Amino acid sequence: MQSRTWLARRFSRVADRTLPFLVLALLCPLGLSTASEKAAPATVVDSGAFGVFVGGRRVATETFSIRQDANGSFIKSEFKTESGTEKAVQSSDLQLTAAGELKSYQWKESTPGQAEATVVPSQDFLTERFTKTPEAKPQEQPFLLPAATSILDDYFYVHREVLAWKYLATSCKHENGQIECPLKQAAQIGTLNAHARQSMPVSVQYFGREKLAIRGVQRELIRLDIKTEVGDWTMWLDDQLKLQRFLDPTTNTEVVRD
């Protein structure tokens, strides 16, 4: 019999045939055993682009992909500012184990600087190695955080989507074709911002379903409220649990899926 990971065992209580595949694929793949199964190509569970708006003006675009195979999940993203703004290009590469824990994370800035950061688990803590320029001597900073910590870097909104999936997988249940989460009961999730080299807990709470217009089309979406040390955020996901809109009132930033 195939064995499930710890996270898979927790999530098996809330999964049924109607649950969107992407949450299962990212957070609780089964431990496969045969060589042919392990060699199976990765499946794309989400890909696309987010438009980033500040004060109603588009300032950047994030393109991303999320793939999964028997060994875990791979989240790649690139952030580019729009023409007419100060040019900035950054990329991220997040790899998770089959249990949804951190395997490795790499962040790169191509423009205007050339900084890099890498995060890997090391026993009971995470180690970040970073350089501000290619010529600079690498520096190292440990964080007393477990591998289950979520990466939540600046400018990469796909990380917010992965955070939402983790919350829905571990704190909610799925019955009668609907996701059911506890109302007015927040879940605490530990996060690390590698770009800023800062860790912080975030509080995620299910608000319910809410109707709102996105690009002029009225939709009913799942709403999650997130409280952080740097401000409060709101996320809206569709029935496939894909992020459609993200709002950060503190910075007047809105993110919408293209």
* Pairwise CA distance, residues 24 & 33, whole Å: 18
40 alpha-carbon distance from chain centroid = 24
Residues 6+ apart with CB under 8 A from 15: 24, 28, 174
Is the per-residue pLDDT at 4 higher than 50? no
pLDDT tens digits along 160-197: 999 999 999 889 887 776 778 888 789 999 999 998 99
CB atoms within 10 A of CB 30: 14
Render pLDDT for 203-240 as a digit per residue (tens, 0 to 9).
999 999 999 999 889 999 999 999 999 899 999 999 99
At 110-126, the pLDDT tens digits run 999 999 999 999 888 99
Rounded to an integer, the average pLDDT of 28-50 is 65
pLDDT of residue 60: 97
Distance in angstroms (rounded) separating the CA atoms of residues 208 and 109: 37
Q: From the CB of residue 21, how many other CB atoms can be counted at a distance below 10 Å?
A: 12
Residue type, 33: S
Judge whether 105 and 119 are in contact, CB under 8 Å: yes
Sorted by where each begins, the domain ranges of the chain are: 6-257
What mean pLDDT is reported for the chain? Answer: 85
pTM, entire model:
0.84
pLDDT at residue 42 in the model? 83
pLDDT over 80 (residue 14): no
pLDDT at 137 over 70: yes
